[in-house]
């Protein structure tokens, strides 16, 4: 499906959940390290859990609870979360608009202090962190 939402590393350390508030299907998840489960909330920070998924042990440890994750099996590509006025740091893209790190690619948020991964990395990460993902292909963690 085109238009799936991908969260990238600029979310790290920001994680203000603005995208959660605009998602109509609660498919943006946060890792709860105490329960070791991915949770989505009806209202960001409201404490009312809408849905949960088991986390993939091999990949959730890469970033843990430092950023949010879109479940691509549940995202409806509605486009709400990657409108320019939602994410304060430009961390969320449609899959097709994701900079790929090549010289021809649009410049990614140059102020991002967490640069280091090709942003296509986050497409696979979005699939791999959910233990029951339909399209997981566990990425290397080193
Ligand atoms: S594109 Fe729509 S359904 Fe998908 S994560 Fe963003 S707000 Fe949610
Ligand atoms: S992707 Fe952007 S809007 Fe969503 S939690 Fe991270 S920083 Fe906030």
Whose atoms come closest to the Cα of 28: which ligand?
Answer: 1
Beta-carbon count within 10 A of 115 CB: 14
Q: What distance in Å separates the CA atoms of residue 102 and residue 118, rounded to the nearest whole number?
A: 9
β-sheet bridge partners, residue 12: none
For ligand 1, mutation pick of 1, 7, 27, 68 (most atoms within 8 Å of CB):
27
pTM as predicted: 0.89
Q: Is the per-residue pLDDT at 110 higher than 60?
A: no
**Contact 39 CB / ligand 1 (< 6 Å):** no
What confidence tier does 98 reach under pLDDT thresholds 50, 70, 90? confident
- Kindly indicate the confidence band of residue 142, based on its pLDDT and cuts at 50, 70 and 90: very low
**Atom nearest to 10 CA in ligand 2:** 7
* Number of alpha helices (DSSP H) and beta strands (DSSP E) in the chain: 3, 6
Give percent of the chain with pLDDT exceeding 70.
Answer: 84
Q: Across all residues in the chain, what is the average pLDDT?
A: 87
Asked if residue 28 has pLDDT above 60, the reply is: yes
44-87 pLDDT, tens digit per residue, is: 888 899 999 999 999 999 999 999 999 999 999 999 999 999 99
CATH number (3.30.70.20, 1.10.10.10, 3.30.590.10, 1.20.1250.20) of 5-128 reads 3.30.70.20
- Can you tell me which residue has the tokens 């899959």? 95
Structure tokens at 32: 């709860």
Question: Which residue CA neighbors atom 3 of ligand 2 most closely?
Answer: 87
């Amino acid at each position: 499906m085109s238009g799936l939402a991908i969260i990238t590393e600029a979310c790290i350390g920001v994680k203000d959940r603005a995208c959660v508030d605009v998602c109509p299907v609660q498919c943006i998840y946060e890792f709860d390290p105490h329960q070791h489960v991915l949770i989505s909330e009806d209202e960001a920070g409201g404490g009312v859990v809408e849905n949960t998924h088991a986390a993939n042990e091999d990949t959730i440890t890469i970033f843990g609870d430092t950023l949010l994750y879109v479940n691509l099996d549940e995202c409806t590509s509605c486009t709400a979360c990657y409108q320019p006025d939602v994410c304060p740091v430009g961390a969320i893209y449609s899959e097709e608009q994701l900079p790929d790190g090549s010289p021809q690619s649009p410049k990614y948020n140059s102020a991002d202090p967490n640069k280091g991964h090709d942003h296509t990395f986050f497409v696979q990460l979005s699939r791999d962190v959910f233990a029951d993902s339909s399209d997981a292909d566990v990425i290397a963690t080193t």
